Chains A and B, each alone.
Chain A
Amino acid sequence: MIIFKQVNKIYSGGTQALKDVSFEVADEELFCIVGPSGCGKSTVLKIIAGLEDPSSGEVRKPTNVGMVFQSGALLPWLNVFDNVALGLRAQNAGWRKIKEETQKYIEMVGLNSLEQKLPRELSGGQKQRVGIARALAINPQVLLLDEPFSALDTGTTEELHKDLIKIWQQTKKTIVMVSHSLEEAVTLAGRIMLMKAGQVDGIFEINLPYPRREQAHSFIEEVHKLRHAFFE
């Protein structure tokens, strides 16, 4: 459960990244924040992750958070297994638990045969899968994704969309994802928050069943609806 109430964020240089941002994310929801560069969506995510603090306003967020980065941010000297196990090891979990959990999530993202590989031996899509496994391995209360698929090609992205939905349905995690693509948000989210220039522009519900792109007409309808709402 995440609550933002009239949150403002002003950086030391004077830029106001967030202005009166208010929204709620319910448990087990897949919530997408969409907007152009500089709209403040990454700032919202960083505040949920605990990487930044709000300048004013009320924030309620869970303490145990997992995050997937646009750049992947895998440690280049660790192989897939050690990267995924990173958070568990930091918690000083027992080696048996570490082994079980790590292998479970590596399997969930479909990378079983690649446990010993180093990040430089992986494709962009595989790296993001490792990132997802790493974030899930610590059993977070919320999973944050910061434009995780922006740097990937369309085919890989579509694959990962499908897998992310599967993982979400399987683990029932609360997911908050930042994206610059309306299509991506409509493909994935139960609710979408549009942001512009640091402010919330609107929150919309998408009631289509999964998988969504298969139902071309309804999908395109929703995207158009949002586009209108966004650009008026």
Chain B
Amino acid sequence: MSQPKHIHHYHRHMSISYPVSFRQRLYSLVVVPLILLIAAGFVISRLGGQTLPSLPSLSWGLLILALLATFLRLLLAYALALVLAVPLALLISHNQKVERVLFPLFDIVQSVPVLAFFPVVILFFVHFNWYNGAAIFILLLTMMWSIVFSVVGGLQVVPSDIKAVGKVFKLTGLKYITKVLLPSVVPYLVTGSLLAWAGGWNIIIVAEVLHTYIPGGSSSKDLFGIGNILVETASSGQQHSFFMALLALVAFVGLMNFFIWQKLLRYAEKFKFD
């Protein structure tokens, strides 16, 4: 089957290598975040916001709860993104006609900044008084495209002999998908998920501060989460609290990387065809 040239370059060469030794992993957990935090601290202290009398600093307990709230939102959005993205990727790869219609469409949709849609989406959810819904919807749209394109790329490089094995040994339909195709794309699924979460963390800063998008909205409608805290403390010049929140976020993401992503990347090696 001859494929449109542009598909060849999509996400197929994005492979994230994982640190091999424990020492390297520790570097990624400690050294890199440390450098980032020091740099951030430097910038903040130089360019700090208005010097309002700072309120007492946030408690770590509050920060941890906020992180958890944000994390749960991301988790839910990710789960929904998986449920939508994987079947979509399978659909695009299965049928050349479908591919020709959907692929350019998705290409356009994913490149439009999600935040540009934000006000429209907000208005819809505001109608139902469901602000968490709005945030999760935005997250979902941000996260799903990385997964779709990664999996599509992965499906394109399944060796033709492997596909032949499926046919010869009578693995058809659902069995073919679950026992041959999906395992084949596990490395791409992990890469796509990692990228999805990275995008998600980015968007969450904004998605939790909804009142700026609602005409006549008040901050009482904002969602509780780390994104909200970061924005509020930064804009009101509470440098110390901001830095604490930033530290908490970086630590959390670093720990996620250490305990989850690196383990997943190592697990995904088992599924590679080399």
Interface residues of A (CB under 8 A from B): 49-51, 65-67, 69-71, 73, 75-77, 86-87, 90-91, 118, 134, 138
Contact B270 A73 (CB under 8 A): no
Contact A75 B162 (CB under 8 A): yes
Whole-angstrom distance between the alpha carbons of A77 and B159 in the complex?
14
Contact A90 B168 (CB under 8 A): no
Q: Residue B244 at the A interface, CB < 8 A?
A: no
Contact B161 A69 (CB under 8 A): yes
Contact A67 B168 (CB under 8 A): yes
Contact partner, A76, options B168, B170, B171, B270, Cβ 8 Å: B270
B273 to chain A, nearest CB (A): 6
Q: Residue B27 at the A interface, CB < 8 A?
A: no
B274 to chain A, nearest CB (A): 8
Contact A66 B270 (CB under 8 A): no
Contact partner, A69, options B164, B171, B183, B273, Cβ 8 Å: B164
Contact B161 A71 (CB under 8 A): yes
Number of contact residues on B: which range applies?
10 to 19
Interface residues of B (CB under 8 A from A): 159, 161-162, 164-165, 167-171, 175, 180, 183, 186, 270-273
B160 to chain A, nearest CB (A): 9
Shortest Cβ distance from A138 into B: residue:
B169
Whether A73 contacts B169 in the complex (CB less than 8 A), given A49-B164, A67-B164, comes out as no
Contact A76 B169 (CB under 8 A): no
Shortest Cβ distance from B172 into A: residue:
A90
Contact B170 A73 (CB under 8 A): no
Task: Give the chain B neighbours of A75 by CB distance below 8 A.
Answer: 162, 165, 180, 183
Contact partner, A51, options B167, B175, B273, Cβ 8 Å: B167
Contact B171 A90 (CB under 8 A): yes
Shortest Cβ distance from A78 into B: residue:
B183
Shortest Cβ distance from A70 into B: residue:
B161
A141 to chain B, nearest CB (A): 13
Contact A73 B171 (CB under 8 A): no
**Secondary structure at chain A's binding surface: helix, strand, loop or mixed?**
loop
B193 to chain A, nearest CB (A): 18
Contact B164 A76 (CB under 8 A): no
Whether A118 contacts B270 in the complex (CB less than 8 A), given A49-B164, A71-B161, comes out as yes
Contact B168 A51 (CB under 8 A): yes
Shortest Cβ distance from A72 into B: residue:
B161
Task: Give the chain B neighbours of A70 by CB distance below 8 A.
Answer: 161
Known contacts A73-B159, A73-B161, A134-B169; can you find 11 more A-B pairs with CB under 8 A? A49-B164, A65-B168, A69-B164, A71-B161, A73-B162, A73-B165, A75-B165, A77-B183, A86-B171, A87-B170, A91-B170
Task: Give the chain A neighbours of B170 by CB distance below 8 A.
Answer: 87, 90-91
Task: Give the chain A neighbours of B183 by CB distance below 8 A.
Answer: 75, 77
Shortest Cβ distance from A92 into B: residue:
B175
Contact B270 A50 (CB under 8 A): no
B268 to chain A, nearest CB (A): 10
Whole-angstrom distance between the alpha carbons of A70 and B165 in the complex?
12
B161 to chain A, nearest CB (A): 4
Task: Give the chain A neighbours of B180 by CB distance below 8 A.
Answer: 75
Contact A76 B161 (CB under 8 A): no
A-B residue pairs in contact (CB < 8 Å), sample of 12:
A49-B164, A49-B168, A51-B168, A71-B159, A73-B161, A76-B271, A77-B183, A86-B165, A86-B171, A87-B169, A90-B170, A90-B171
Whole-angstrom distance between the alpha carbons of A51 and B169 in the complex?
11
A98 to chain B, nearest CB (A): 13
